[in-house]
Amino acid sequence: MAVSVLVGSQWGDEGKGKIVDLLSNSYEIVARYQGGANAGHTVEIGDKKYILHLIPSGILRENVICVIGNGVVIDPIALLDEISFLEGQNISVKDRLFISQNAHLIMPYHKLLDSISESGKNKIGTTGRGIGPCYIDKYARKGIKINDLLHPEVLERKIRENITEKNLLLKNIYHHEELDVDEIIKSYLEFDAKIDQYIKDVPSYLNQAIKEGKSILLEGAQGALLDVDFGTYPFVTSSHPTSGGACTGTGIPPNKITDVIGIVKAYTTRVGEGPFPTELLDATGEKLRAIGNEFGATTGRPRRCGWYDAFLVRYSAMINGIDSVALTKLDVLSQFEEINICTGYEYNGKLLKSFPTDYERLSSVKPVYKTVPGWNKDISDCESYTDLPQATKEYLNIISEESEIKITIISVGPKRAQTFFVS
């Protein structure tokens, strides 16, 4: 049975939520493997719109079990809010949601330190959800884990130790008010009572499920170019959205993964700071943003928009080992007379052979474009590949060839039904 990894192939917001919801019809378990409430995954079903930040988008299918893996950093406030939002929509998470005992907890000081470091001059444009500071503590071996909720005395000791250190930093370096340790301990003990029921030994659960022949979809958040190692460092998130992160973030070994599905947007967007070679800072970029409704699902920030970058997607396909692609938001390009596709970058007058992730080169490359005619026709009601205009098919052929990808799913609108498989 399939154990598939689904990854964002660009800078996030490719439409992962919509495609996870669509595909989860054919999987028994959906598991998130990294990131935290920095994600905003949108699913539109009928006239209802759901934005999920922590819980996998598979939760909207009542037969699907959802899992949050150890690679995810969990903000208990965001988690409990999301659970009550879903229950308010008559979507029960009881016995359908499991959380790894090894996932780390976002603490109030993580969010505070995130906002303090973003107020300085080396801004990343984070979502302010405490992601970076939480992963810092994880790798510094000071983190507080879901496991610790099960042992109140350990939880209290660890919170006290952490806050003593953070208060020194807040007071002496940032000249900020100190944190009230007792209040924080009290609130985390209260979370414990609400979260205990979801805690699970996730690696054992998932590996047993594989033994029993169950199918699993591993849902990535963010995108490959935001990966802390393979992305456009330092303008990245602090985890591994790339497919490798699915193993370390859940406990499923690499030889059990059957395939990798890349979600690719028909143009490019980015939120926050950092180089973006095909960015359009003119009326065309504004048109993409308006038609594509490119505003952050988590922070509401306007997304930066630009042409499709085949050089970037080719790199992403290589790093992730993408077997098949779901191409989203193709309908957004319908109102453009001409469309540009970036096929490579020029740097110091020479064509680069491989994708440069370093700031110095990426911020000064010149994208090389192939210009193709648009199709000037609404495609949002197309139900199959054959329904698409010839010019759209040509656009798809060029991007597949230049990016070295195989497009198997096409999305022409935000709704579940606005999707078809390419045979």
What is d(CA 29, CA 77) in angstroms, rounded to the nearest whole number?
A: 24
Taken as a whole, the chain contains a residue count of 423
- Taking CB under 6 A as the rule, does residue 44 contact ligand GDP? yes
- Piece in contact with ligand GDP (CB under 6 A), picked from 100-108, 189-197, 334-342, 407-415: 407-415
CB of 18 to ligand GDP, least distance (A): 4
Nearer to ligand IMO, 124 or 154 (CB): 124
Q: Which does 412 bind (CB under 5 to 8 A by kind): Mg ion, ligand IMO, ligand GDP, none?
A: ligand GDP
Q: Which is nearer to ligand IMO, 55 or 209 (CB)?
A: 55
- Tell me the one-letter amino acid at 95: D
Q: Which residues bind ligand IMO (CB under 6 A)?
A: 8, 12-13, 38-41, 124-127, 129, 131-132, 221-223, 226, 235, 237-238, 271-272, 297
Question: Taking CB under 6 A as the rule, does residue 9 contact ligand GDP?
Answer: no
Interaction of residue 272 with Mg ion, rule CB under 5 A: no
Residue 297 in contact with Mg ion, rule: CB under 5 A: yes
**Residue 13 or 28: which CB sits closer to Mg ion?**
13
Q: How far is the CB of 115 from ligand IMO (least distance, A)?
A: 11
Q: Which is nearer to ligand IMO, 136 or 372 (CB)?
A: 136
Q: Which residues contact 267 (CB under 8 A, 6 or more apart)?
A: 288, 292, 305, 306, 307, 308, 329, 332, 333
Subset of residues 286 to 345 that bind ligand GDP, contact rule: CB under 6 A: 293, 297, 328-329, 331-332
Cβ atoms of residues 257 and 155 within 8 Å = no
Helices and strands counted in the chain (H then E)? 12, 20
CB of 89 to Mg ion, least distance (A): 19
Instruction: Select the binding partner of residue 331 from ligand IMO, ligand GDP, Mg ion, none (C-beta < 5 to 8 A, by kind).
Output: ligand GDP
Q: Is 275 in the site for ligand GDP (CB under 6 A)?
A: no
φ, ψ for residue 319 (rounded to 5)? -65, -40
Closest distance of CB 301 from Mg ion, Å: 11
Active site residue 41: yes
Residue of minimal Cβ distance to ligand IMO? 272
Indicate whether 13 belongs to the interface with Mg ion (CB under 5 A).
Answer: yes
Longest CA–CA span in the chain (Å) reads: 66
Among residues 3, 4, 9, 16, the one that binds ligand GDP under rule CB under 6 A: 16
Cβ proximity to ligand GDP: between 14 and 82 the closer is 14
Active-site position among 21, 41, 53, 110: 41
Determine whether 151 is an active site residue. no
Q: How many chain residues interact with Mg ion (CB under 5 A)?
A: 3
Among 13, 21, 75, 219, binds ligand GDP (CB under 6 A): 13
Look at phi and psi of residue 95 and say left if phi exceeds 0, alpha if psi is from -120 to 50, else beta: left
Catalytic residues: 13, 41
Query: Which residues lie near Mg ion (CB under 5 A)?
Result: 13, 40, 297
